[in-house]
């Protein structure tokens, strides 16, 4: 991987296991899969992992699914030579005056309200829209991190930062993605960002793991000498 440290971050309502099919195909050593804490007993937190990244100073191949990409793109101070890849990703999620293709803020507000009374129901409704199974029986859902994630989806807009990083970013989108349709994805990232498309929905790491792995191999192989993020 030409010295890159691979870090994979999952999206809202899921956990690090979303990346298992992709990582198993890559066979890379030292892969980090931090946990945003949405489900169950969480693993290594994003704060712990990114503290270590800063201490190492080693360039990172930062890979994010959906909200995971938005979170990664919101961070600053990446080590020199780092690269960013998004899967089913976006630079802005909630609709606003200059982003009519986004999701209505009312939908996100209803989800936030629903967390107060039936967090598992909110998560499972979203997972069903993604084409994913419900949360396993007995797995707890963690309201505070879920609320923080929805707040980020409601408020975050990284389109301007992405424009300055366009040459160091690649995104893989699904042509049948019901959560982030192609028109929404295309409008949410600057024109200079490389975007590849595959036939699939919002769960490409599960449904199209080989396509994800192929893209990551290509990016890692061409990643030497990238400027700072």
Q: What pLDDT, in 10s, does the model give residues 95-123?
A: 999 999 999 999 999 999 999 999 999 99
Give the separation between CA 121 and CA 187, rounded to whole angstroms: 30
Q: What pLDDT, in 10s, does the model give residues 189-214?
A: 998 899 999 999 999 999 999 999 99
Q: Which residues pair with 85 in a beta bridge?
A: 63, 170
pLDDT at 138: 86
Considering only 1-10, 94-103, 140-149, 194-203, which range has the smallest mean pLDDT? 1-10
Write out the two tokens for 153. 């989806």
Cα 164 to the center of its chain, rounded Å: 19
Q: What mean pLDDT do residues 136-162 have?
A: 95
Rounded to whole angstroms, what are the CA distances from 200 to 172, 175, 211?
10, 6, 10
Q: What pLDDT, in 10s, does the model give residues 46-98?
A: 888 888 877 788 899 999 999 999 999 999 888 888 999 999 999 999 999 99
DSSP 29: S
Can you list the alpha helix ranges (DSSP code H) found in the chain? Answer: 20-26, 46-56, 67-73, 105-130, 143-155, 159-165, 182-188, 204-207, 209-221
Strands 83-87 and 60-65: parallel
HSE-CB of 94 using CA atoms within 13 angstroms? 16
Q: In the chain, what percentage of residues exceed pLDDT 70?
A: 95
pLDDT at 165: 85
Q: In the chain, what percentage of residues exceed pLDDT 90?
A: 76
pLDDT band at 226 (very low <50, low <70, confident <90, very high): very low
pLDDT at 197: 97
pLDDT at 219: 93
């Amino acid at each position: 991987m030409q010295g890159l440290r691979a870090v994979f971050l999952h999206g809202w309502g899921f956990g690090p296991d979303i990346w298992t099919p992709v990582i198993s195909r890559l066979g890379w050593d030292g892969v980090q899969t931090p946990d945003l804490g949405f489900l169950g007993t969480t693993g290594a937190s994003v704060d712990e992992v990114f503290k270590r990244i800063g201490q190492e100073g080693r360039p990172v191949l930062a890979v994010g699914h959906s909200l995971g990409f938005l979170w990664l793109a919101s961070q600053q101070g990446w080590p020199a030579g780092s690269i960013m890849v998004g899967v089913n990703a976006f630079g802005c999620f909630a609709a606003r005056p200059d982003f009519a293709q986004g999701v209505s803020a009312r939908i996100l507000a209803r989800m936030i309200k629903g967390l107060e009374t039936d967090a598992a129901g909110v998560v499972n409704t979203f997972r069903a829209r993604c084409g994913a199974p419900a949360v396993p029986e007995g797995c707890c859902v963690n309201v505070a991190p879920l609320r923080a994630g929805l707040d980020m989806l409601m408020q975050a807009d990284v389109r301007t930062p992405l424009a300055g990083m366009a040459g160091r970013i690649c995104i893989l989108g699904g042509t049948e993605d019901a959560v982030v349709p192609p028109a929404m994805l295309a409008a949410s990232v600057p024109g200079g960002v490389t975007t590849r498309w595959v036939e699939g929905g919002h769960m490409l790491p599960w449904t199209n793991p080989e396509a994800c792995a192929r893209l990551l191999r290509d990016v890692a192989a061409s990643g030497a000498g990238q400027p700072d993020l």
